Amino acid sequence: MGNIVNLFKILSLIFLTEIIFFGNALADQRSYVWTYEYQTLSKGSWELEYYNTISANELNHFKGNTTTQHQIELEVGMSETFDFGIYQIFSQTGEGGIHYDGFKFRGRYKLSSTGKLFFNPLIYFEYQGVPDFQNHTFEFKLILTKDIGSFNVALNPYIEFEKEGAGKWEFKPQYALGVSYAISDKLKFGIESKASEDGVYLGPTLAHGSKDIWVALSPTFSVGKAKSGQPEFYLRLLLGFGA
């Protein structure tokens, strides 16, 4: 339990720092850490994003039992409805060294103008590979969002096709779901859930920032028992800035 208290202290410190330094910012930040919204970059603009994800297989046993994944993404607006991103992925176990895990290419495309349909729809496609091209993962998402006053609802049903080495292709249906409330034009609070065959996860999300710099953070917990070998807990931080 002491580990959880320390994590929430870190969460509070990060957001206090954000409010102090970026308190006059306009609101255009990501509301979630697992769930995508109806957003693409405008033509010619760019953004650099950093994803830090700490996972622990046992919620009450963190020492020597955590894995940290680092993702760095550069995304560019190709048109007013389509943007493209390139990721570099690294990981480390415990206090060990950083290992290069591979890369991702992803695109997002808006299917209609905002407000024309009941849900704002966007499609997301992604390829993840490794340097020797022995492992391949394709991911396809349908992103649906709805704004109701200060509330936002975002649903991401998606599927993964994964192949490791000479093995067979595996099909993995998944989803992410987020509901958030804009406390002010600078700060949002939400609840997120994500699920796959590995388990169901749920946690609060807090987001703060502007169109130029933003941050989102969520401690995410397993609901029920996760699949053997899968994390019981995640702490994910997203940080983005661009022009």
Give the pLDDT mean for 219-225. Answer: 92
pLDDT bin (cut points 50, 70, 90) of residue 28 is very low
Q: Is 124 exposed, middle or buried (0-12, 13-18, 19+ CB in 10 A)?
A: middle
Closest CA to 38 of 87, 81, 74, 70: 81
* Over residues 21-47, mean pLDDT: 78
- The whole-angstrom separation of Cα 158 and Cα 124 is 9
Query: Residue 143: how many CA atoms within 13 Å on its side-chain side?
Result: 21
pLDDT at 212: 82
> Mean pLDDT of all residues in the chain?
88
186-205 per-residue burial string, b: 16 or more CB within 10 A, e: under 16? bbbebebbbebebbebebeb
Q: What is the 3-state secondary structure (H, E, C) of 20-48?
A: HHHCCCCCCCCCCCCCCCCCCCCCCCEEE
Distances (CA, A) of 134 to 30, 37, 88, 104, 128: 33, 32, 17, 14, 11
Residue 15 pLDDT exceeds 50: no
- This prediction has a pTM of 0.85
pLDDT(4) > 90: no
d(CA 208, CA 215): 6
pLDDT band at 63 (very low <50, low <70, confident <90, very high): confident
Calpha distance 2→120 (Å, rounded): 42
Delineate the domains of the chain, giving CATH numbers in brackets: 2-242 (2.40.160.40)
The contacts of residue 11 (CB under 8 Å, 6+ apart) are 206, 217, 219
Q: Which two tokens stand for residue 28?
A: 């255009």
Instruction: Provide the sign of the torsion angle of the four alpha carbons 147, 148, 149, 150, taken in this order.
Output: negative
pLDDT band for position 2 (cuts 50, 70, 90) = very low
So what's the pLDDT on residue 12?
52
d(CA 44, CA 218): 30
